[in-house]
């Protein structure tokens, strides 16, 4: 992204859409609904891009939107008494690339499903999306120490689930 | 990337138990297909490009409703054409002719690019939006209906191009035919660039390199800053 000139929504989309999609997947949005939620993220970007002041990086700002939209989506799904992430890999969404890693991808998403949304967000942003913990704290709008605590707790819970899954599969 | 105080990332293998690091590494490759992205882009464009309801929305909406009911003849021709196309069951020709989609066709690095996304309210050709009920439909309903119709068209476009893209490897001739069908059905579609990329690739695979080069040159002239340019970067002449 060129500094000094405001990016267009198209530029933001081209540069970040695939990673936003990936983040939504790991944040628990059901496969069949990721397109809808992604659309909502970029519509929000379209509405707010002119207000982006550059105090944070564009990527951090964008993931903040992603997180809020996915959180709203989860709340709405709860109100509708739906499970927002029930078997996300099994819903036959729009042509997920099967690829050689499909089983591993599905396993990880299932493991992430045991985390509460706060810990899950920190873990996804740090481990998968590659943000620093300072950026993670900025995105989720919490003190840095809180973000560390959530990462620590999230890892413990993920490890428990992983070991349980390993034990069960043997 | 990490701050000095950040713990090692499990996804880099730092301290993660065997197996879990691999799962986290695989997750980094868990990105959508091009077709999925194209579909979302089309839908984003459809909403971004949806015209704002005119100031006299209730009156206009009433006119459109009456046209569909066949009660009044001779209201705006654009509205009639538009509404006659809406019920098309196949999903083809759902979108009326309209201004090119700014998101796809505006220069990518143009100044004030976010402003370019807003369709010019005065200059844009009339793209009336059908209202579900005559009496004073709300702005929200008006926009939602437009969005739903546009989404259908966008989905139809994306589906057609996904078929074209899928056919590319096994049958470039079919892929080209589907791209040409897209051009016929969606002359002002939201995925014009994506269609051209597929058509050019198909022509190359068919050995029609001169045609491919000519089409690539036209693409170059029309979309000089397109993100698809790298894919087309081959010698312009056979």
Q: How confident is the model at residue B205 (pLDDT cuts 50, 70, 90)?
A: confident
Average pLDDT over residues A60-83: 82
Calpha distance A7→A100 (Å, rounded): 35
- B137: in domain: yes
Calpha distance A124→A121 (Å, rounded): 5
Q: Is A10 in contact with B106 (Cβ distance < 8 A)?
A: yes
Domain range for B84 is 54-232
Yes or no: domain A9-169 corresponds to CATH 1.20.140: yes
- Domain locations in chain A as residue ranges: 9-169
Alpha-carbon Rg for chain A, nearest whole angstrom, is: 16
- B7: in domain: no
Average pLDDT over residues B184-200: 83
- When mean pLDDT is compared across B22-31, B146-155, B205-214, B218-227, the lowest value belongs to B146-155
The distance of B172 to chain A (nearest Cα, Å) reads 21
- B150: in domain: yes
Q: Is A132 in contact with B2 (Cβ distance < 8 A)?
A: yes
Model confidence at B129: pLDDT above 60: no
Q: Is A104 in contact with B113 (Cβ distance < 8 A)?
A: no
Model pLDDT, residue A14 = 92
Calpha distance B101→B113 (Å, rounded): 13
Q: How confident is the model at residue B230 (pLDDT cuts 50, 70, 90)?
A: low
Q: Which residue of A has its CA nearest to B225?
A: A11
- B10: in domain: no
Partner residue opposite B11 with nearest CB, options A35, A94, A128 = A128
Task: Pick the more confident residue, A41 or A52.
Answer: A41
- When mean pLDDT is compared across A66-75, B86-95, B198-207, the lowest value belongs to B86-95
The distance of A34 to chain B (nearest Cα, Å) reads 9
Q: How confident is the model at residue A130 (pLDDT cuts 50, 70, 90)?
A: very high
Q: How far apart are the first and last CA of chain B?
A: 44
The structure's pTM equals 0.54
Domain count, chain B: 1
pLDDT tens digit sequence for B31-78: 888 888 888 898 888 877 766 555 444 444 444 343 333 333 333 333
């Amino acid at each position: 992204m060129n500094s000094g000139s405001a990016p267009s929504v198209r530029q933001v989309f081209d540069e970040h859409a695939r990673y936003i999609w990936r983040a939504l997947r790991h944040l628990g949005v059901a496969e069949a609904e990721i397109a809808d939620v992604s659309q909502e993220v970029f519509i929000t970007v379209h509405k707010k891009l002119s207000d982006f002041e550059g105090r944070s990086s564009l990527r951090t700002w964008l993931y903040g939107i992603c997180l809020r939209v996915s959180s709203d989506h989860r709340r709405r799904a709860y109100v509708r008494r739906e499970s927002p992430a029930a078997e996300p890999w099994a819903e036959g969404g729009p042509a997920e690339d099967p690829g050689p890693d499909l089983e591993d991808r599905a396993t990880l998403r299932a493991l992430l499903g045991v985390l509460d949304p706060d810990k899950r967000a920190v873990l996804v942003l740090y481990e998968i999306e590659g943000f620093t913990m300072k950026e993670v704290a900025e995105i989720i709008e919490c003190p840095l120490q809180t973000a560390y605590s959530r990462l620590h707790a999230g890892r413990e819970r993920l490890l428990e689930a992983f070991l349980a899954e390993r034990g069960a599969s043997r | 990337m990490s701050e000095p105080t950040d713990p090692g990332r499990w996804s880099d293998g730092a301290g993660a138990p065997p197996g879990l690091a691999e799962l986290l590494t695989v997750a980094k490759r868990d990105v959508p297909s091009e077709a999925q992205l194209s579909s979302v882009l089309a839908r984003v464009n459809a909403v971004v490009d949806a015209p704002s309801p005119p100031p006299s929305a209730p009156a206009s909406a009433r006119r459109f409703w009456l046209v569909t009911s066949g009660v009044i003849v001779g209201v705006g021709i654009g509205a009639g054409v538009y509404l006659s196309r809406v019920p098309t069951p196949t999903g083809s020709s759902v979108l009326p002719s309209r201004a090119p989609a700014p998101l796809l066709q505006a220069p990518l690095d143009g100044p004030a690019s976010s402003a370019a996304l807003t369709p010019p309210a005065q200059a844009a050709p009339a793209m009336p939006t059908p209202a579900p009920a005559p009496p004073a439909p709300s702005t929200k309903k008006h926009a939602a209906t437009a969005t739903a119709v546009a989404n259908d068209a966008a989905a139809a476009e994306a589906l057609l191009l996904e078929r074209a893209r899928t056919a590319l490897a096994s049958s470039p001739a079919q892929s080209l035919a589907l791209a040409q069908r897209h051009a016929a059905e969606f002359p002002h579609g939201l995925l014009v660039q994506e269609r051209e990329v597929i058509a050019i690739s198909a022509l190359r695979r068919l050995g029609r390199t001169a045609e491919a080069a000519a089409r690539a040159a036209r693409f170059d002239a029309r979309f000089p800053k397109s993100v698809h340019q790298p894919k087309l970067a081959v010698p312009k002449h056979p």
